[in-house]
């Protein structure tokens, strides 16, 4: 389990974890201050629940054990039937539900299953849960907008100011504009690098080996202005490629655009 986020639904703070790039919602948080684990066990005893989580596993989990699932399905509804998350996972190799101890501990379920559990609590709870979850996903998506990106760059710049002098790097001296042969073999990223920085990534790394060994590249040392221009160059280059403009002509246009915007 990796990153933990939280949402609030009906005064309950609910944790959301990432596992294998999928979102898992904490069922324990959803019934906090109520019946807790007993509520989850009661839900899992229900025949409809067993069928739902079993069918979910059948679709998403190639290692799921259908024979064990069928056994649980036949027993569901009997007074003696009892099913816990651990028993379900151990018997069927399920991946849709898991338990975690310690901080942010509890029973987590894939969002599809968690929404179904929300229906068990109440239709209103399910609707509010989905609404807050979608709001969180929108925030995560929008973090890639320019405002977030500028904040990220400022943080990164401050880090470099504390570790390495931000200008303490070398720009290789080479006339890329006269030597047109490099364009034939250049990757698109280097076409943009030379247009803006007058330097390929490889030449920069060779001239700045200490920085390169730390995994840094020329764009890590760019100003915010340069990074905004780079973003515009990328968009323009994509349009020129779609118009089938050859690489040499694209480089000329990108160089002029970089100089103008800077």
Tens of pLDDT along 176-186? Answer: 666 666 676 67
Q: What is the pLDDT of residues 11-45, one digit of tens each?
A: 899 999 988 889 999 999 999 876 656 889 899 99
The predicted pLDDT at position 64 comes to 95
* Better pLDDT: 131 or 102: 131
Task: Categorize the per-residue pLDDT at 58 as very low, low, confident or very high, splitting at 50, 70 and 90.
Answer: very high
Question: Cα separation of 134 and 130, whole Å?
Answer: 6
Looking at per-residue pLDDT, the higher value among 175 and 213 belongs to 213
Backbone φ and ψ of 194, nearest 5°: -70, -40
Phi–psi pair at 97, nearest 5 degrees? -135, 140
Q: Residue 216 has what pLDDT?
A: 81
Q: What is the mean pLDDT of residues 73-95?
A: 91
User: In the prediction, which pLDDT does 37 show?
Assistant: 64
Whether 51 and 73 have beta carbons less than 8 Å apart is answered as yes
Query: How many residues in the chain?
Result: 262
**Which one has a higher pLDDT value, 1 or 28?**
28
**With pLDDT > 90 as the criterion, what percentage of the chain qualifies?**
39
CA angle 202, 217, 192 (to 5 degrees): 65
- For the chain, the average pLDDT equals 83
What residues contact 90, with CB distance under 8 A and at least 6 apart?
A: none
Q: DSSP code of 219? A: G
Instruction: Output the pLDDT for position 168.
Output: 59
Instruction: Report which listed range, 113-122, 143-152, 208-217, 228-237, is most confident.
Output: 113-122
Radius of gyration, CA atoms only, the chain: 27
Confidence of residue 123 (pLDDT cuts 50, 70, 90): very high
Helix or strand holding residue 109 (H, E) = strand 106-110
Q: What are phi and psi of 109, to 5 degrees?
A: -135, 150
- Residue 87, both tokens: 């028993």
Higher pLDDT, 135 or 178: 135
Element (H, E) at 86: helix 85-92
Q: Which of 80-84, 168-172, 211-215 has the lowest mean pLDDT?
A: 168-172
Higher pLDDT, 256 or 217: 256
Q: Among candidates 151, 107, 112, which has minimal Cα distance to 130?
A: 112
What's the pLDDT score for residue 166?
42
- For residue 161, the model assigns a pLDDT of 47
The pLDDT of residue 190: 83
Residue 171 in 3-state DSSP? coil
- 3-state SS, residue 19: strand
Model confidence at 248, pLDDT cuts 50, 70, 90, reads confident
What CA–CA distance (Å, rounded) separates 259 from 240?
18
226: nearest Cα among 197, 254, 253, 200: 197
pLDDT at 4: 80
Q: With contact defined as beta carbons under 8 Å apart, do 24 and 110 qualify?
A: yes
Residue 29: which of 122, 127, 129, 124 has the closest Cα? 129
Q: Per-residue pLDDT tens for 232-244?
A: 888 888 888 888 8
**Considering the entire predicted model, what is its pTM?**
0.55
Which of the listed ranges 69-83, 113-127, 128-142 does the model predict with the highest average pLDDT?
A: 113-127
3-state secondary structure string, 21-58? Answer: CEEEEEHHHHCCCCCCHHHHHHHHHCHHHHHHHHHHHH
């Amino acid at each position: 389990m990796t990153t933990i986020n939280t949402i609030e639904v009906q005064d309950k703070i609910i944790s959301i974890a990432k596992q294998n790039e999928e979102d898992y919602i904490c069922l324990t948080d959803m019934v906090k201050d109520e019946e807790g684990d007993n509520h989850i066990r009661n839900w899992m005893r229900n025949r409809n629940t067993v069928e739902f989580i079993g069918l979910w596993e059948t679709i998403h989990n190639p290692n799921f054990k259908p024979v064990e699932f069928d056994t649980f399905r036949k027993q569901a509804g009997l007074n003696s039937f009892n099913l816990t998350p651990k028993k379900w996972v151990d018997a069927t190799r399920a991946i849709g539900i898991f338990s975690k101890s310690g901080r942010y501990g509890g029973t987590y379920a894939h969002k599809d299953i968690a929404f179904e559990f929300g229906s068990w609590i109440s239709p209103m709870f399910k609707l509010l849960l989905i609404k807050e979850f979608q709001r969180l996903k929108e925030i995560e998506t929008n973090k890639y907008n320019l405002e977030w990106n500028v904040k990220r760059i400022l943080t990164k710049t401050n880090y470099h100011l504390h570790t390495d002098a931000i200008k303490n790097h070398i720009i290789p001296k080479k006339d890329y504009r006269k030597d047109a042969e490099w364009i034939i073999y250049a990757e698109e990223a280097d076409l943009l690098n030379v247009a803006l920085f007058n330097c390929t990534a490889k030449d920069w790394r060779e001239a700045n080996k200490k920085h390169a060994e730390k995994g840094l590249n020329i764009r890590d040392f760019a100003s915010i202005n340069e990074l905004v221009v780079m973003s515009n160059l990328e968009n323009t280059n994509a349009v020129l490629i779609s118009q089938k403009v050859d690489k040499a002509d694209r480089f000329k246009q990108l160089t002029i655009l970089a100089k103008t915007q800077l």
